[in-house]
Amino acid sequence: MSFKKFNNNPSNNDISSYGNVDENLKKIVETISPRAEAFVKEYFYNMFDNNRGELVQLYKDDSVSIWNGTECKGKEHIGKLLAEIPKSKHIVETFDCQPMPGEDKENPNLLINASGKVTYGESSTHEFHQTFYLAKDPTNPNIFFISFDCIRLNS
Protein backbone atom coordinates (compact mmCIF):
# COMPACT_ATOMS: atom_id res chain seq x y z
CA MET A 1 0.00 0.00 0.00
CA SER A 2 1.52 3.31 -0.97
CA PHE A 3 1.40 6.15 1.50
CA LYS A 4 -0.07 9.12 -0.32
CA LYS A 5 -1.72 12.27 0.91
CA PHE A 6 -4.53 13.60 -1.24
CA ASN A 7 -4.43 17.32 -1.78
CA ASN A 8 -5.10 20.01 -4.33
CA ASN A 9 -1.53 19.96 -5.60
CA PRO A 10 -1.57 17.63 -8.61
CA SER A 11 2.19 17.90 -9.06
CA ASN A 12 3.14 15.81 -6.05
CA ASN A 13 0.85 13.85 -3.75
CA ASP A 14 3.66 12.03 -1.94
CA ILE A 15 3.34 12.68 1.78
CA SER A 16 7.08 13.24 2.09
CA SER A 17 6.63 16.54 0.27
CA TYR A 18 4.84 17.88 3.37
CA GLY A 19 7.93 17.84 5.52
CA ASN A 20 9.31 15.44 8.01
CA VAL A 21 6.72 12.73 8.71
CA ASP A 22 7.33 10.67 11.83
CA GLU A 23 8.19 7.11 10.80
CA ASN A 24 6.11 5.72 13.68
CA LEU A 25 3.07 7.61 12.41
CA LYS A 26 3.65 6.21 8.93
CA LYS A 27 3.81 2.70 10.38
CA ILE A 28 0.60 3.24 12.37
CA VAL A 29 -1.27 4.59 9.35
CA GLU A 30 -0.04 1.70 7.20
CA THR A 31 -1.29 -0.70 9.91
CA ILE A 32 -4.71 0.84 10.52
CA SER A 33 -5.66 1.63 6.93
CA PRO A 34 -6.25 -2.02 5.93
CA ARG A 35 -8.19 -2.58 9.18
CA ALA A 36 -10.44 0.38 8.45
CA GLU A 37 -10.94 -0.73 4.86
CA ALA A 38 -11.89 -4.25 5.96
CA PHE A 39 -14.28 -2.89 8.61
CA VAL A 40 -16.04 -0.58 6.14
CA LYS A 41 -15.97 -2.52 2.89
CA GLU A 42 -16.15 -6.14 4.02
CA TYR A 43 -17.60 -6.21 7.50
CA PHE A 44 -19.92 -3.50 8.85
CA TYR A 45 -22.06 -2.63 5.82
CA ASN A 46 -22.14 -6.22 4.59
CA MET A 47 -23.43 -7.31 7.99
CA PHE A 48 -25.83 -4.33 8.18
CA ASP A 49 -27.38 -5.25 4.83
CA ASN A 50 -27.35 -9.05 5.13
CA ASN A 51 -27.27 -10.10 8.78
CA ARG A 52 -28.23 -7.07 10.86
CA GLY A 53 -29.15 -9.10 13.94
CA GLU A 54 -25.49 -10.00 14.43
CA LEU A 55 -24.39 -6.37 14.21
CA VAL A 56 -25.31 -5.66 17.83
CA GLN A 57 -22.35 -7.83 18.90
CA LEU A 58 -20.04 -5.03 17.72
CA TYR A 59 -21.40 -2.71 20.45
CA LYS A 60 -20.99 -2.63 24.25
CA ASP A 61 -23.42 -1.60 26.98
CA ASP A 62 -21.98 1.93 27.05
CA SER A 63 -21.86 2.36 23.25
CA VAL A 64 -23.87 5.16 21.64
CA SER A 65 -25.45 5.03 18.19
CA ILE A 66 -27.20 7.95 16.53
CA TRP A 67 -29.30 7.07 13.49
CA ASN A 68 -30.35 10.22 11.63
CA GLY A 69 -30.95 12.09 14.88
CA THR A 70 -32.31 9.19 16.97
CA GLU A 71 -29.89 8.44 19.80
CA CYS A 72 -29.62 5.03 21.47
CA LYS A 73 -27.29 4.01 24.27
CA GLY A 74 -26.37 0.45 25.06
CA LYS A 75 -26.42 -2.82 23.19
CA GLU A 76 -30.06 -3.61 23.94
CA HIS A 77 -31.43 -0.25 22.73
CA ILE A 78 -29.14 -0.21 19.69
CA GLY A 79 -30.36 -3.71 18.80
CA LYS A 80 -33.99 -2.56 18.98
CA LEU A 81 -33.23 0.44 16.76
CA LEU A 82 -31.43 -1.73 14.20
CA ALA A 83 -34.41 -4.10 14.09
CA GLU A 84 -36.74 -1.20 13.18
CA ILE A 85 -34.69 0.03 10.21
CA PRO A 86 -36.00 -1.25 6.85
CA LYS A 87 -33.94 -3.68 4.76
CA SER A 88 -31.01 -1.84 3.21
CA LYS A 89 -28.32 -1.91 0.54
CA HIS A 90 -25.26 0.30 1.10
CA ILE A 91 -22.77 1.39 -1.55
CA VAL A 92 -19.70 2.89 0.13
CA GLU A 93 -18.12 5.50 -2.13
CA THR A 94 -15.47 6.95 0.19
CA PHE A 95 -14.02 6.37 3.62
CA ASP A 96 -11.23 7.80 5.73
CA CYS A 97 -9.55 6.64 8.91
CA GLN A 98 -7.55 8.46 11.57
CA PRO A 99 -5.63 7.01 14.51
CA MET A 100 -6.85 8.40 17.82
CA PRO A 101 -4.32 9.19 20.53
CA GLY A 102 -4.35 6.95 23.56
CA GLU A 103 -2.25 4.74 25.78
CA ASP A 104 -1.42 2.23 23.04
CA LYS A 105 0.45 4.23 20.44
CA GLU A 106 1.22 1.15 18.31
CA ASN A 107 -2.41 -0.01 18.09
CA PRO A 108 -4.61 3.08 18.51
CA ASN A 109 -8.37 3.46 18.58
CA LEU A 110 -9.81 4.45 15.19
CA LEU A 111 -12.01 7.25 13.91
CA ILE A 112 -13.61 6.21 10.61
CA ASN A 113 -15.77 8.30 8.30
CA ALA A 114 -17.67 6.63 5.47
CA SER A 115 -20.07 7.98 2.87
CA GLY A 116 -22.03 6.71 -0.07
CA LYS A 117 -25.55 5.75 -1.05
CA VAL A 118 -28.06 3.58 0.77
CA THR A 119 -31.39 2.20 -0.41
CA TYR A 120 -34.02 1.32 2.20
CA GLY A 121 -36.82 -0.98 1.21
CA GLU A 122 -37.45 -1.16 -2.50
CA SER A 123 -36.92 2.40 -3.66
CA SER A 124 -35.93 4.94 -0.98
CA THR A 125 -32.34 5.94 -1.86
CA HIS A 126 -30.35 8.48 0.16
CA GLU A 127 -26.79 9.69 0.45
CA PHE A 128 -25.32 8.75 3.82
CA HIS A 129 -22.43 9.95 5.95
CA GLN A 130 -21.39 7.84 8.92
CA THR A 131 -18.75 8.28 11.61
CA PHE A 132 -17.47 5.45 13.81
CA TYR A 133 -15.24 5.55 16.85
CA LEU A 134 -13.75 2.08 17.25
CA ALA A 135 -12.21 1.45 20.66
CA LYS A 136 -10.23 -1.50 21.91
CA ASP A 137 -12.14 -3.93 24.09
CA PRO A 138 -10.79 -3.51 27.65
CA THR A 139 -10.90 -7.29 28.17
CA ASN A 140 -9.07 -8.04 24.89
CA PRO A 141 -7.04 -5.20 23.31
CA ASN A 142 -6.83 -7.13 20.02
CA ILE A 143 -10.58 -6.71 19.48
CA PHE A 144 -12.29 -3.44 18.60
CA PHE A 145 -15.89 -2.50 19.34
CA ILE A 146 -18.06 0.39 18.18
CA SER A 147 -17.94 2.90 21.00
CA PHE A 148 -19.87 5.51 19.01
CA ASP A 149 -21.41 5.82 15.58
CA CYS A 150 -23.56 8.43 13.92
CA ILE A 151 -25.24 8.21 10.53
CA ARG A 152 -26.92 11.09 8.70
CA LEU A 153 -29.08 10.66 5.62
CA ASN A 154 -29.53 13.23 2.86
CA SER A 155 -32.33 13.14 0.31
Q: Distance between CA 87 and CA 120 in Å, rounded?
A: 6
pLDDT digits (tens, 9 = 90+) for 114-145: 999 999 988 789 999 999 999 998 888 788 99
Kindly state the greatest CA–CA separation across the chain. 51
pTM (predicted TM-score): 0.81
pLDDT digits (tens, 9 = 90+) for 18-45: 556 678 778 888 888 888 999 999 999 9
Mean pLDDT across the stretch 39-60? Answer: 95
Any bridge partners for residue 153, and if so which?
Answer: 128
Helix (H, G, I), strand (E, B), or coil: what is residue 14?
strand
pLDDT higher than threshold 50 for residue 5: no
All domains in the chain, ordered by first residue: 19-154 (3.10.450.50)
| Whole-number pLDDT of residue 1 | 32
Backbone angles phi and psi of 99, in degrees to 5? -75, 140
pLDDT higher than threshold 80 for residue 4: no
Ramachandran assignment for 74, one of left (phi > 0), alpha (psi -120 to 50 degrees), beta (any other): left
Q: Percentage of the chain surpassing pLDDT 70? A: 86
Q: Distance between CA 155 and CA 15 in Å, rounded?
A: 36
Q: Distance between CA 103 and CA 117 in Å, rounded?
A: 36
Q: Distance between CA 1 and CA 13 in Å, rounded?
A: 14
